[in-house]
Chain A
Amino acid sequence: MSGDVLVVPTGTANMASVVAAFRRLGVNLRQVEDTAEIRDADQLVVPGVGTFGAAMARIDEQGWREALAGRVEAGEPTLAVCVGMQLLAEKSDESTGAAGIGAVRGTIARFPDDVSVPQFGWNQVTPDPGCRFLKPGWAYFANSYRLTSVSDNWARAETDHGGAFVSAMERGNVLACQFHPELSGKWGSDLLGRWIEGTRSAI
């Protein structure tokens, strides 16, 4: 068994930043090549930049939907970032008609018009006391859509941009972040470190 963390190639534009962030923590990221790897990876990262519909289409083309849904449902070590987090919901206003993985009830809606859209920059993350990985701090965001609520079986963190939204959530060994931990300085790097270490012991 290799010590690599696997990453789903969702066509994300800033993969180099994600790879570099893990490398600074001494972890090599390797792209998954088939469905079995999605299912069996010890630790899996689902990055995402771009639209909800395009990312789901890519996952469906490869036939990865069930394997992804299965590991999230089972609480196996999975880190979903930005659009990667949104894919866990059922659907999004960004791409009506596209079906998400559906691990979380609720839809993804655009930020209201009275705040800047996209939300570009640093904002404060306030986690529930029940969160194991998430801690309070500043995180870097680049998003136009967000999750406004999650089902009760997820611990969540909130952030304010035109009202509170779900900026991260965790359940078992699954951590999903709307912000970019790989671009959130030392706070983000520490979060990645806690997830890598905390879920490695679960293997």
Chain B
Amino acid sequence: MLAPRLIPCLDVKDGRVVKGVRFQNLRDAGDPVTQASIYQDQGADEIVILDVSATPEGKGHAVQTTAAVRQVLSIPLTVGGGVRSADDARVLLEAGADKVATNTAAVERPELLTEIAERFGSQCTVLAVDAAQRPSETWEVVINGGRKRTGIEVQAWVASAAECGAGEVLLTSWDRDGTRSGYDLALIRTVTSAIRIPVIASGGADNAGHLAEGLKSGAAAVLIASILHDGVTTVDSLKRQLLADGLAVRL
């Protein structure tokens, strides 16, 4: 039986880990190699690095960060941020990523998913989606780090992305990101019922109870950031609580 996964996420800007609320007010949260290594030792199942640098110089850092983290990491590494072509994906894979996540660029040009999947396999191709709630239980895709609403329905987008070759979906609730108010469970249920590829739930986790809710709502994995970076808890502690709650995590 596959174990539900706990995945610490490092948002990295210009080579440093940062954390904000609803993608804004970024504050420093350490060195990516040190942080990734600490979370690996705590029992993390994978690491996700999202590069949020806005400048071309920042992009250079993403490749360096990937290469440096790979040297210490013996668990899977997903890297996203600024991937606009299969060649951008190749550079990150060659630097040491196992999977590459695309977000805005895939919305603007869905063939990008197919290009990456055909060249490197669906197991390398992660679609990151930022979802904002609309009145009533529907969500729309937001891009450019939450600055632009697209009007595209999340459910339809993930279904078409899976057809295009995405092997996994990293689903972030824009409304909950960094708020520690729990995952948007209705969003998770809606998306996981629309596709068969695994969904990583993201945005809003504060405690093991939130993680358990996300996993029981259909997510194959949960992404955590703020609570780890602030030292509120550890991956190991969260996993022990999940195990006690009947979720067969890897310990």
Residues of chain A at the chain B interface (Cβ within 8 Å): 13-17, 20-21, 23-24, 49-50, 116-124, 138, 140-143, 160-161, 180, 182-186, 188-189
Contacts and interface: CB of A to CB of B under 8 A. Distances in A.
A16 B45 contact: no
A185 B220 contact: no
Given A13-B120, A16-B96, A121-B198, A24 B70 contact: no
B93, B123, B221 pick with most chain A CB within 10 angstroms: B123
Given A49-B123, A50-B121, A120 B1 contact: no
Nearest to B71: A20
Contacts of B220: 116, 120-121
A49 B121 contact: yes
B226 to A, nearest CB: 23
Contact of B250 (A17, A21, A122, A160): A122
A185 B2 contact: no
6 contacts: A16-B70, A116-B196, A118-B167, A123-B3, A138-B250, A160-B1
Contacts of A184: 74-75
B5 A17 contact: no
Contact of B2 (A161, A182, A183, A188): A161
A17 B122 contact: no
B93 A185 contact: no
Mostly, the B contact residues are loop
**6 tightest CB-CB pairs across the interface, nearest first?**
A16-B96, A13-B120, A142-B123, A138-B250, A122-B3, A122-B250
B45 A183 contact: no
Given A16-B93, A50-B120, A121-B5, 14 more contacts: A14-B93, A16-B94, A17-B77, A23-B71, A24-B74, A116-B197, A120-B2, A120-B123, A120-B220, A121-B45, A122-B45, A123-B3, A160-B1, A182-B74
Nearest to A140: B76
Contacts of A120: 2, 123, 167-168, 198, 220
Contacts of B40: 185
A160 B123 CA distance: 20
B17 interface: no
Interface residues of B, number: 33
Nearest to B221: A121
B95 to A, nearest CB: 6
Interface in B15-35: none
B2 A17 contact: no
Interface in B112-147: 120-124
A160 B120 CA distance: 26
B2 A122 contact: yes
Nearest to A142: B123
Given A13-B93, A16-B94, A119 B75 contact: no
Nearest to B249: A122
**Which of B5, B70, B122: most chain A Cβ within 10 A?**
B70
A136 to B, nearest CB: 13
Contacts of A14: 93, 97-98, 124
A118 B122 contact: yes
Contacts of A17: 70, 77, 96, 98
B96 to A, nearest CB: 4
B3 A118 contact: no
Given A123-B1, A185-B40, A116 B123 contact: no
B97 to A, nearest CB: 8
Contacts of A138: 3, 250
